[in-house]
Amino acid sequence: MDRLSRIPIFVAVARHGSFAEAARRLGMTGSAVSKQVQRLENDLGARLFHRTTRQLSLTDEGSFLFERSAPLVEGIEEVGEMLAGRRVNPEGSLRISAPVALAQRVLKEPLTSFIMKNRGINLHVELSDRFVDLVGEGFDLAIRIGHLEDSSLVARRLADVPMVLAGAPILLAEYGTPKTPDDLANIPFVHYGSDRNAQRLKLQKGSEEPLQIVTQAKLSTNNDQMMVSFARAGQGLILLPRFMVESELQNERLREVLPAYQLIPERKLYAVFPHGRHLPLKTRVLIDFLVEELA
């Protein structure tokens, strides 16, 4: 087996994060897969994986090789799928990552419908509010809200995500209901993330010039439900996607603040995947399905 023949084996290991899983999908033994990867490393004079008893991850050299070789391997696989007549019925394992609240409130039904219509796909959905390393951790796709910052990734917009500023009646009674963005500077916030200090918000009303204000937080958390709990207790204003607080607004446990203003830049829901010229059929079918369902 020459160096080029070992590349698809390396790509399979990198995709699935496991020699054993790659071997199962390739129809090889685990020891044979490990041996071919070792020989590829010897050929290239570079270590491609960090190996521990519990985890397998790509080195910098491994990530470099994966980013450039995976699209080629996927292109060959796609041609094989077309020749085998599988374009209508995608098959294979699909591993995706999504935020907990988003999956529970928005993605649960679409993903259930997708898997019922695509019986040949084995879907694994991992829920986490952290930004996973798609390549290093072997994910095919991540669903994220916000902006694409990693230039090695590609994003496809699935839907708009309206954001809401909200606070409890007890908080608004104490500080007054804000009439303009400037009023927010005098009201405590509950921030999302680890920053308990100042954060900048840019708000715009219609075609007026955007206004930038600084908010101060007395509390912060990386969990939306904890933010809602703090807000209901009158501990601060929160800024969250509308779908996360809709029931609280309907029951008047929280009240929307400055509804005429819009957060700039607008938040979007994205399907994010590693950069490459070709997407596996199974991944493209899922993205197309979510675009249609969430439009």
Q: CATH number for the domain including 117? A: 3.40.190.10
Question: Which of residues 48, 63, 83 is at a domain's end?
Answer: 83
CA dihedral of residues 280, 100, 165, 271 (deg, nearest 10): 0
Q: Domain residues for 60?
A: 3-83
Whether the pLDDT of residue 115 is over 90: the answer is yes
Do 9 and 39 lie in one domain? The reply is: yes
Quick one: average pLDDT of 232-253?
A: 93
Do 208 and 251 lie in one domain? The reply is: yes
CB 135 within 8 A of CB 105: no
3-state secondary structure of 45: coil
- Tell whether pTM > 0.85: no
| pLDDT score of 206 | 86
Give the number of domains in the chain. 3
Q: What percent of the chain has pLDDT over 90?
A: 36
Do 238 and 180 lie in one domain? The reply is: yes
Q: What percent of the chain has pLDDT over 70?
A: 91
Give tens-digit pLDDT for 138-188: 888 999 987 656 555 688 889 888 999 999 999 999 999 999 999 998 899
Q: How confident is the model at residue 241 (pLDDT cuts 50, 70, 90)?
A: very high
3-state secondary structure of 212: strand
How far is 143 from 156, CA to CA, in rounded Å?
A: 10
| pLDDT score of 116 | 93
* Chain mean position to CA 117: 23
